[in-house]
Amino acid sequence: MILLLGGTAEARALAARLDDAGVALTSSLAGRVARPRLPVGETRIGGFGGVAGLRSYLRDERVRAVVDATHPFAAGISANAAAACDAEDVPLLRLARPGWSEHPDADRWHWVDSHADAAALTVGLGSRPFLSIGRQGLAPFVEPLQDVAALVRVVDEPELELPPAWTLLHSRGPYDLASERALLSEHGVDVVVTKDSGGSHTVAKLDAAGERGAAVVVVRRPPSPPGVETVSDVRTAAEWAADRAADRA
């Protein structure tokens, strides 16, 4: 059985390819989204209980290989997967979508290393920021931007109380350029704050920001665990997983 650590569009596409190829797999979702988009095939939701729990799962389920296709900012599970697979001698592949560093406007953006750095920088860049960073990254922005008319877009309700001056928008991508252009215009956005999630599903906000001359603040990705092979396309990951499944059959 192949264990697919998922929750992303790439993970769902990979699950579909492997299922079509007849490869036995289980997709694992962290359970942080209330209504996740489920992949085809068998799915489990919830954590493993750290490295020790994941090691037990790999042994108990006789997992032949693991593909880590989690979000680029899901550093905790990626680190746990690397440690558990190394300890159990289970092959591990990281499927990570390309970031936005090659975007035509990337050299004009403000790149920072943390959400706290992004919050501190945003204060001086404009008066109508658009926070598109996910609900779990909002806490560092509350105090610096408490009196600012910020637009905040999330999938699920934030767990913390937001300042009255903020406007909360519940929405799930993908987004196209026309809708992002209209959103930024409607709210007078002059700063877009995001993290380097990469891919095409949410890049339109950056294109729209460039069109209107809005500043852009981007939180860099955390580093991947050292020594883990990484690919950026679903086809290559599917071939890798199918080969490992066959090798240990």
Residues 215 and 111 in one domain: yes
pLDDT at residue number 31: 67
pLDDT at residue number 33: 62
pLDDT tens-digit series, residues 97-142: 999 999 999 999 999 999 999 999 999 999 999 999 999 999 999 9
Residues 94 and 165 in one domain: no
pLDDT at residue number 36: 73
Residues 7 and 84 in one domain: yes
pLDDT at residue number 32: 66
How many domains are contained in the chain? 2
pLDDT tens-digit series, residues 141-178: 999 999 999 999 999 899 899 999 999 999 988 999 99
> pLDDT confidence of 40, banded at 50, 70, 90?
confident
Q: What is the mean pLDDT of residues 72-80?
A: 94
pLDDT at residue number 34: 58
Residues 210 and 230 in one domain: no
Residues 68 and 119 in one domain: no
Q: Higher confidence at residue 183 or residue 174?
A: 183
Residues 182 and 147 in one domain: yes
Residue 194 has pLDDT above 80, yes or no: yes
CATH number at residue 65: 3.40.50.720
Output the 3-class SS for the chain.
CEEEECCCHHHHHHHHHHHHCCCCEEEEECCCCCCCCCCCCEEEECCCCHHHHHHHHHHHCCCCEEEECCCCCCHHHHHHHHHHHHHHCCCEEEECCCCCCCCCCHHHCEEECCHHHHHHHHCCCCCCEEEECCHHHCHHHHCCCCCCCCEEEECCCCCCCCCCCCEEEECCCCCCHHHHHHHHHHCCCCEEEEECCCCCCCCHHHHHHHHHCCEEEEECCCCCCCCCEEECCHHHHHHHHHHHHHHCC
